[in-house]
Structure 1
């Protein structure tokens, strides 16, 4: 900061500032009522007590000029609102990396959010997978990467690692937007906490804080929201309340409830849908769900240097999946429960060497299912418990070339996957419960990582940074591979057997010696059995079904050194080009290494792969930030972030086939693909806001080229060589996605009227990569939205989604799950 005249300061006492604020908000509160002027520059510096045209390099009239102090730190990234695209905070356009933020205002202005996936649709480089659209969970795709923790997904820093196999995406994150303050999306390598085991980025849902609920200057506060709409958007409401027991301690809590039914799909368009199945009378079966969400959070300013936060977020939902099966409904009742607990201890004393954060977190996700098969319900429970922690610190020192910041720390977490079913073990036959549990295996995975990043800031125009991370993992578990085979026996010609019951014939339940010399079935009391000298003998009917079970233990570990580097220059206050390089690493997930079983009641399809290797990525980015105020008039603002990227991935993991020696046959499993999987593209987010009107948009061009072969090693006598991955595994995103958003603010900016158009190009993956119903056509969707602040403590929101009632399948979805048709919504928020 720079102060113009020393005399101007005088003996002035500024206001105390406590809590989470942007630098602008904190400075305004600190100087309110003091008479001292201030302004922020575009290079994250502020000038205090100076006229707007003061020259930082000139000292006149006895004025004292100090070197600018760059505004950094936690309070900067805590900003959840700004002048960027759909309210993106300004720090995003000052960060020399690929990062986007979905603000709370953007979430609330979305006309009809049925789940959190809808809140991410306008983010450049981001899609949400709708191939499991009957479930309330969210599967995020960033730059073509999704599932198996390729992209770290977290709530307040607590990882959400739950996976469940199905006919579509695997990863499911359960979060309700009612308590979300913002969503941060990092699309490249994550240099600090959250980067362990991440191949392509981080999506962090941040929940509200006390300052969002308790008005400034008050000791308590709250808000109540209630909304409804057409097209089975029945109710969406929440209640929040908070209290400051003193200047240092606050508690906030809340409850939200959402109830939606089976929605009606659009009526316009030439989309051809599969007859029956999930669509009946133009409604999507079992798209209904009911969600109850609760939040409890405490914030304690222990000392001026020490801050502690503790939060508990509970998500509970009921729904179903299924469809119409031969004219009769088949319904699987689903119950989802997620508990996330986080604790954060931040220590920031008056020292440039210490700015430390200690975090512990716990997450437990459970999905209980009642499978609706003929003959009664089959209960299955899928679960994942994860816990971990991290400690990080930033030290700043002045060196000859500028300010050097060292950011270093460690993080670790453990996943404990578990699937439970009722006993479906058939004596002497198959273990049918492995049709459920095998594809969602139980096992443990531990990940630990240490990192060091150095950033040199030279004269406010040059930033050089480099980092090194080491990731290490272990994965273990035990499973069973099952095999079903039919044994055919020729006519009886063996007399070497014992007649235990004296009926003169061998017992078909006894054992026998095959032509291969192997003895099948163990003899038991009351059974006749063939001796090893017996060559062959006949079973009644001439054949028998034999079931084999082969236990398999998986014990994997590995690690990698991961360097990164970045250069950013700022030739003007408003312009910042940057270039970066990084390497990333993702070890296999529990599901990938331990998969067995198969489709429900068919436990003979899959096998584990103890030798499955990790994925390794290399990414280049070239980007530019533009942040400029007063472009055409004193009150306007222009923001833009544009990035070109290229990512190469070696050993990409996909579903394939592998020989299993004990069973002498080929099974489906996860394999490492040969060659290089490449993803490259362009992402742009930009906005122009002049106060009474605004316009902004996002654009994504993404070209993905998945490696599509692997080595299928077969023993002599079997044909082998290159093989194509099994279908329904690789999700290829559309090449283009664009959003344009514009609106006006009327009646002293209390009335906002806006519209949004979203275009997504067709999805046309190469033959052999995906099944046909993932080849989706292009679509264009129009939304209208608005809000009216008719009272200082009351706001009315209203909107229309899918205005033209388009019939379409969302990108990365399937024609079994078309999107909702036209929906009108309205909500009322009252603060007190």
Structure 2
């Protein structure tokens, strides 16, 4: 660990310990315990031993983000890889997730209303997270492994949980009609957005919501005025959701949600990470993404029963039609011959994958002597099916898992053990000559979180977590490299240590202050996801990452507020021959400071400064530091008549038109330059 890193983290830890605090509120149903305090634009929601950040609906609207990835890159340790378009961008958390080759390395999980999405290793196609931010009421980011055991195995970077809007959000929870209409315009790319919500509650036991969002952007411009190729997109999305409650005291509920996003791209580069056709040529590509979730909940007047059964289905189909003559490697070959090439056939391939999942869990509150228990236990069955395609082997992945997480509280001490057992069977869609067609693996993984509350608002916490990544459909193949990966499981462990404080009237009467600092260290070994630099068959020996995350929020009685989010980190990749190098996918050092002022709920003005250092592009070349300024304003007129329920939002992103390339992005894909955004929302 470098001296500079130690100095930086020591200074931030000292800052975190410099303020008094008040006792935490543990009323949130989160199984690791939470702390919820308001300060500025973002409400900080913490687990006592869980690195957790929640982006609420108000912030989703204020940020006017074009993609979910662009929305959550403000979270410490989260990087947006390869731009702000749905086709190319990816999510990287603590150095894992999206990378310079694939949109996912299977070490982060993304869920929409419980459905698992956006996790296939498709060559140069991004994260496949095709959805619109305006469909959601909340996006939650869990960083690291300790909070992942209810969501999957092999999760090293973290989990992104997205919750769609409800009809009751618009009707106020009472019978009747409601809804909203939003229009948005962005100067950079001539962006146009329309989002319509229609809600109906015929009675208190039923509610229905329809949302249609249309987002259309032309090619964006960089800070130097040049056009960013391959940055235009058009993504219509819709959401349909219904909820019914029934039974004695409305103890039973049934919720059905279905969302869909379609992108129809004509004559675009196959390589979504780059800005030109390059070696792979151009394609017509249709991406159709659908998620459906049905959840039953039984929550009677009993501390021992809060039962949820969630059945979800996620389906994504990517149909690509190669444009004849667009790749220099075609060299006059007929299209059929070129597409039959084992390497370049990926350009012509259609991809389809479906994930069906059933998760049944129960949360129970009970006591055993002096110990108070908050226990979450569940079982999960997963079936993933993928169409066979060049560079993306097809097959079926069947998994069964069981997990238990028990938050045990004794006085001021909280001990939370977590266990997950998972077994998998993967089967190839095509015969593997000379090798078996199916493979079985299982693993037991888990962690332990400890927290101590001093009773005056100060608490300290630590955790240790171990997980294993079972073999994937992507590993199937009749090669020695594939077989070696199928015969092992990728393993990792993560240690975390931190402290959090909250205080009222710290600097002035009526103010609030919250701060949380967290150190983490992760080791990944028996590596099957990353090869040695310059090799296509020799896997790395191990990867080690470490970092420090800081979140803070201050709010005064006069409406002035300050939000701070920062990350310092470094990583090393180790080769089998004993040599090492800087971890190629490591997160950059980043600090984000927001200064703002609120006048009741009517006006909110803020200035956000984002400074990023220790950056590298997709080729590993060092990039200069960048400092970006963003200005935002939200105005909700206090008026009767047609202005009632109206909100006007203004944004000026990259206000000084900074010309730069983002961390881990292709060197030709510059970040967008200055953009003025305005949106008008009318609720009814």
TM-score under structure 1 length normalisation: 0.70
Note the alpha carbon deviations across 1:342-397, whole angstroms, 9 max, x for none: 11111111222211111110000111112224167975311110011111112222
- Alignment match, 1:198: 155
Q: Distance in 1 between matches of 2:33 and 2:210?
A: 23
- Residue 244 and residue 399 in structure 1: after superposition, are their counterparts in 2 closer, same or farther (change >3 A)? same
- Verify: 1:807 aligned to 2:659, yes or no: yes
- Alignment match, 2:628: 781
- Alignment match, 2:407: 455
Q: Distance in 2 between matches of 1:814 and 1:235?
A: 26
- Alignment match, 1:87: 42
Q: How many residues align structurally?
A: 624
- Verify: 1:297 aligned to 2:246, yes or no: no
Shift of 1:318: 2.2
Q: Distance in 1 between matches of 2:405 and 2:665?
A: 39
Shift of 1:612: 5.0
Partner of residue 50 from structure 2, selected from 97, 100, 108:
97
Q: Distance in 1 between matches of 2:506 and 2:622?
A: 44
- Residue 636 and residue 217 in structure 1: after superposition, are their counterparts in 2 closer, same or farther (change >3 A)? farther
Note the alpha carbon deviations across 1:151-175, whole angstroms, 9 max, x for none: 11111111014424334x7542222
- Alignment match, 1:318: 264
Partner of residue 568 from structure 2, selected from 684, 701, 723:
701
Partner of residue 365 from structure 1, selected from 294, 316, 328:
316
Partner of residue 607 from structure 2, selected from 747, 755, 761:
755
- Verify: 1:121 aligned to 2:4, yes or no: no
SS of 2:349 mapped into structure 1: strand
Equivalent residues of 2:212, 2:238 under 8 A apart? yes
Shift of 1:128: 2.2
Q: Which runs of 5+ in 1 are unaligned?
A: 1-40, 45-69, 268-280, 420-436, 482-549, 597-604, 659-665, 711-721
Q: Distance in 2 between matches of 1:819 and 1:554?
A: 44
Note the alpha carbon deviations across 1:549-600, whole angstroms, 9 max, x for none: x67554222122213112111112422211111111112332233498xxxx
- Verify: 1:220 aligned to 2:200, yes or no: no
Partner of residue 413 from structure 1, selected from 374, 377, 382:
382
Q: Distance in 1 between matches of 2:615 and 2:510?
A: 42
- Alignment match, 2:543: 677
Equivalent residues of 2:175, 2:203 under 8 A apart? no
Shift of 1:135: 4.9
Q: Distance in 2 between matches of 1:562 and 1:371?
A: 44
Partner of residue 73 from structure 1, selected from 12, 22, 29:
29
- Residue 565 and residue 78 in structure 1: after superposition, are their counterparts in 2 closer, same or farther (change >3 A)? closer
- Verify: 1:627 aligned to 2:515, yes or no: no
Shift of 1:408: 1.2
Shift of 1:204: 0.9
- Verify: 1:687 aligned to 2:523, yes or no: no
- Alignment match, 1:430: none
Partner of residue 283 from structure 1, selected from 214, 227, 231:
227
- Residue 164 and residue 368 in structure 1: after superposition, are their counterparts in 2 closer, same or farther (change >3 A)? farther
Shift of 1:179: 1.0
Equivalent residues of 2:616, 2:663 under 8 A apart? no
- Residue 332 and residue 230 in structure 1: after superposition, are their counterparts in 2 closer, same or farther (change >3 A)? same
- Residue 138 and residue 573 in structure 1: after superposition, are their counterparts in 2 closer, same or farther (change >3 A)? farther
SS of 1:370 mapped into structure 2: strand
- Residue 478 and residue 195 in structure 1: after superposition, are their counterparts in 2 closer, same or farther (change >3 A)? closer
Partner of residue 587 from structure 1, selected from 470, 473, 478:
470
Equivalent residues of 1:607, 1:668 under 8 A apart? no
- Alignment match, 1:187: 143
- Residue 702 and residue 246 in structure 1: after superposition, are their counterparts in 2 closer, same or farther (change >3 A)? same
Partner of residue 420 from structure 2, selected from 461, 465, 469:
469
Equivalent residues of 1:149, 1:171 under 8 A apart? no
Shift of 1:102: 1.6
- Verify: 1:172 aligned to 2:125, yes or no: no
Q: Which runs of 5+ in 2 are unaligned?
A: 1-21, 98-103, 326-333, 340-347, 638-642
- Residue 478 and residue 88 in structure 1: after superposition, are their counterparts in 2 closer, same or farther (change >3 A)? same
Equivalent residues of 1:93, 1:627 under 8 A apart? no
- Alignment match, 1:493: none
- Alignment match, 2:368: 399
SS of 1:706 mapped into structure 2: strand
- Residue 324 and residue 299 in structure 1: after superposition, are their counterparts in 2 closer, same or farther (change >3 A)? closer
Q: Distance in 1 between matches of 2:261 and 2:32?
A: 29
SS of 2:651 mapped into structure 1: strand
Equivalent residues of 2:31, 2:405 under 8 A apart? no
Shift of 1:400: 2.1
- Alignment match, 1:109: 62
Highest RCO, 1 vs 2 (Cα 8 Å, sep ≥ 6): 2
- Alignment match, 2:4: none
Considering only CA atoms, is the larger Rg found in Structure 1 or Structure 2? 1
TM-score under structure 2 length normalisation: 0.84
Q: Distance in 1 between matches of 2:257 and 2:277?
A: 44
Shift of 1:447: 2.3
Shift of 1:235: 0.3
Shift of 1:239: 0.3
